[in-house]
Structure 1
Amino acid sequence: MQEAINKLTTLALALGKPFNHPGLPAPLALVPDDVRLQDLEEHLDAPVRIRQSLKVLDAQTFIDYVNRFASDASAVFCNGPEGRTFIAVLDYHQPGQPSWATHKATYQCPTTVEWGNWRKQDRQKLSQNDFAEFIEENVKDIVQPDGTSTAPSAADMLEISRTLEAKKNISFRQGIRLDNGQVQLTYNEEIDGRAGASGQLNIPEQFYIGIRPFLGGEAFCIPARFRYRITDGRLFMWYELVRPDKVLEEAYTAVREQIKAAIGQVPLYEANL
C-alpha cells in the first residue's frame, strides 16, 4: 500500500515538470490535464530532425535540392514514363538503421501548355474553320526540320489556315494525292446560290511541331500527319501526332538520365510509387 502511495506521490510531483535523459532526443513532461506525455521538442532551439515534403516544378530544382541535403542515407525513386514521378527521400533507411523518412522532395514532370494544346486536339475531326483557327493560334510551334525541305514551314501552314478561313462558301468535291506527297483538294465556289468558279487547294501530307513535353525539359520534333474527309461537300480536317506516347517515354528517359548523372552517389531506383 505504501509503495503505491509513494508512486502516486512521485507522479504528482512530476506533473508539469520537464525531465530529460541522455537517451531521449528531447525533454518530456507529464501534462496534468489528461496525464499524458508531452513532447517538448517545440521548445528546443532547433527540431531534432527535418520534417519536410517539397514539390518542385523542374528537374534542375530537384537536382539542386537533392545535392544540397543528400547524405549516405539518401535515395531517389522513380516510377517510369507513365507515372513520370521522382521522389527523393533524403533521410531514408540504411541496412540495420531504420529512419523516419520524413524529408522528401518530389518532381512530377509537369507537362507544358503547348503539349496539352496539341494533345487535346490530336485526332479530333474539326470543321474547316475550326481547324484553320487552331493552326493559326498554334503556328508558332510548327517547325521545318533540317533535311526535310518538303515539309511545310510555319509560314506555309499560316497561309493554308488563312486560305481555309477565306474560303467559306465553297463545296469540296475530291482529293488527289500528288507526286510530291501533297493532297490537292478541288472545290467549287458558291456565288449567289449558284455554282461558281472551281479552285484547288494543296495541303501537305504531314507537318512537324517542335515543343517541350515537360516544363523545363528538352524540346522534341514531332511529326503530325494531315487527315481530311469530305462529307456532302463539307471539309473536315484533323491531324494525328506520330507516337506521342513514345515522345513522352523519350522525354522521361532524358529527365531520368539528367537526374541520375547530376546526383552523384545517391542511388536511383525504379519503383511502384
Structure 2
Amino acid sequence: MQEAISHLVTLAQALGKPQDHHALPAPFALVPQGVKVQDLEGMLRAPTRIRQAVTVLDADTFIAYVNRFASTASVVFCDGPEGRTFRAVLDYHQPEQPSWGQHVAVYQCPISIEWGRWKSSDRKRMDQATFAEFFEENIKDITAPEGIPDAPSAADMLEISRTLEAKKNISFRQGTRLDNGQVQLTYNEQIDGQAGETGQLRIPEQFYIGVKPFLGGDAFCVAVRFRYRIQEARLAMWFELVRPDKVLEEAYTTVRAKIQGSIGEVPMYEASI
C-alpha cells in the first residue's frame, strides 16, 4: 500500500514540475486538475517583459521617458494638430520580428487655462460690464509686440473696455424715378465710438495677446480683432481670435519638432494606432 502511494506522489510531482520551452516567454507547468497550462511568470523575481501604459503631462517628460526606455524597436506615432497626441510604443514590431507592443507612453498636448479662456469667449457678444470684467481678469495676456507701433497696450485696452461710448447715426436718402414712379430708398448706418475720459483714446481694430496654447509649451503672439455694435439701444462688445486653428497648428508643429529633435534615432510617424 505504501509503495502505491509513493508511486502516485512521484507521478503527481512529475506532472506539476515547471518546464522550460523555447517557444514560450515564461516557465509553465501542467496542472493535474483539468491538465491545463499554468503561467508561472508571477512567481519569477521579475516579469519577462514590460507591460506598462504611461500618460505624461508635458513634452519634456515624454522625451525623458522615451530616451530612458528606447531601443531599436521603439517608434513614436503622432496624429496631427487636431488630435495633438504623441504615442511612443517602446516595444513595437520590427520587420522580421513581431512584438507585444505593451510598453506605451502617451502625451496629449493639454490646452492651457489661458488659451481656454480666450477661446471659450471668442466671438461671444457681451455687455460692456462683462466685457470689461473679462479684460480685467486676463489683462496679463495682452501684449504690444515690437515692430507694431500702433498696437494698443494692455492698459489702453482695459480703459477702452471700461469707457467706450458709441452712438449710431442713421440716414435715409430717397429718390423717385419720374418715368415709372419707382421709389429708391437708401439706408446708411454709421456707428461712431470714442473711449477715454475725454475721448482721447483711439479705438483699435485689433490688439494682441501672448499666450501658451499648450500647458508647458511655447508662447505665441496672437492677433485679436476688437468689435462693438449697438443692438437694441445697448452696446455689445466682443473679440475675434484671428485664425485660432493656425495657432494650434503652429503650436503642435513646434512640439513635434522639439520631440523629434530630442529622441535620437527613434522614428516618428504621422499616424494613430
Q: Which bracket does the TM-score occupy, shorter chain normalised?
A: 0.7 to 0.9
Q: Is 1:185 equivalent to 2:204 in the alignment?
A: no
SS of aligned partner of 1:262: coil
CA distance, structure 2, for counterparts of residue 11 and residue 158 of structure 1? 89
Q: Is 1:173 equivalent to 2:148 in the alignment?
A: no
CA distance, structure 1, for counterparts of residue 131 and residue 15 of structure 2? 74
Deviates more, 1:113-122 or 1:231-240: 231-240
Which ranges of structure 2 fall in alignment gaps of 5 or more residues? 1-7, 170-190
1:19 shift after superposition: 1.2
CA distance, structure 2, for counterparts of residue 16 and residue 185 of structure 1? 93
Where does residue 61 of structure 2 map in the other structure? 61
CA distance, structure 2, for counterparts of residue 125 and residue 119 of structure 1? 13
The answer on whether the counterparts of 2:16 and 2:32 sit within 8 Å (CA) in structure 1 is no
Amino acid aligned to 1:173: K
The answer on whether the counterparts of 1:74 and 1:266 sit within 8 Å (CA) in structure 2 is yes
The answer on whether the counterparts of 1:185 and 1:200 sit within 8 Å (CA) in structure 2 is no
Which ranges of structure 1 fall in alignment gaps of 5 or more residues? 1-8, 165-169, 176-182, 188-197
CA distance, structure 1, for counterparts of residue 134 and residue 53 of structure 2? 40
CA distance, structure 2, for counterparts of residue 113 and residue 186 of structure 1? 32
Which protein shows a greater Rg?
2
Number of residues paired by the alignment? Answer: 242
1:145 shift after superposition: 0.2
TM-score, normalising length: structure 1: 0.81
Where does residue 190 of structure 1 map in the other structure? none
Deviation per CA, 1:222-267, whole angstroms, max 9, x where unpaired? 0000111102321001000000000001011111111111111100
Amino acid aligned to 1:17: G
TM-score, normalising length: structure 2: 0.81
The answer on whether the counterparts of 2:21 and 2:27 sit within 8 Å (CA) in structure 1 is no
Where does residue 25 of structure 1 map in the other structure? 25
Amino acid aligned to 1:209: I
CA distance, structure 2, for counterparts of residue 43 and residue 12 of structure 1? 23
Amino acid aligned to 2:268: L
Where does residue 208 of structure 1 map in the other structure? 208
Where does residue 126 of structure 1 map in the other structure? 126
The answer on whether the counterparts of 1:207 and 1:225 sit within 8 Å (CA) in structure 2 is yes
Relative distance call for 1:121 and 1:20 in structure 2 (3 A) is same
1:36 shift after superposition: 2.8
Where does residue 254 of structure 2 map in the other structure? 254
SS of aligned partner of 1:55: strand
CA distance, structure 2, for counterparts of residue 270 and residue 148 of structure 1? 37
Once superposed, what is the RMSD of the aligned Cα atoms?
2.6
Where does residue 236 of structure 2 map in the other structure? 236
Amino acid aligned to 1:142: I
Q: Is 1:144 equivalent to 2:133 in the alignment?
A: no
1:25 shift after superposition: 2.7
The answer on whether the counterparts of 2:167 and 2:192 sit within 8 Å (CA) in structure 1 is no
SS of aligned partner of 2:261: helix
CA distance, structure 1, for counterparts of residue 232 and residue 194 of structure 2? 14
Where does residue 156 of structure 1 map in the other structure? 156
1:212 shift after superposition: 0.4
The answer on whether the counterparts of 1:18 and 1:27 sit within 8 Å (CA) in structure 2 is no
CA distance, structure 2, for counterparts of residue 42 and residue 231 of structure 1? 71
Where does residue 91 of structure 2 map in the other structure? 91
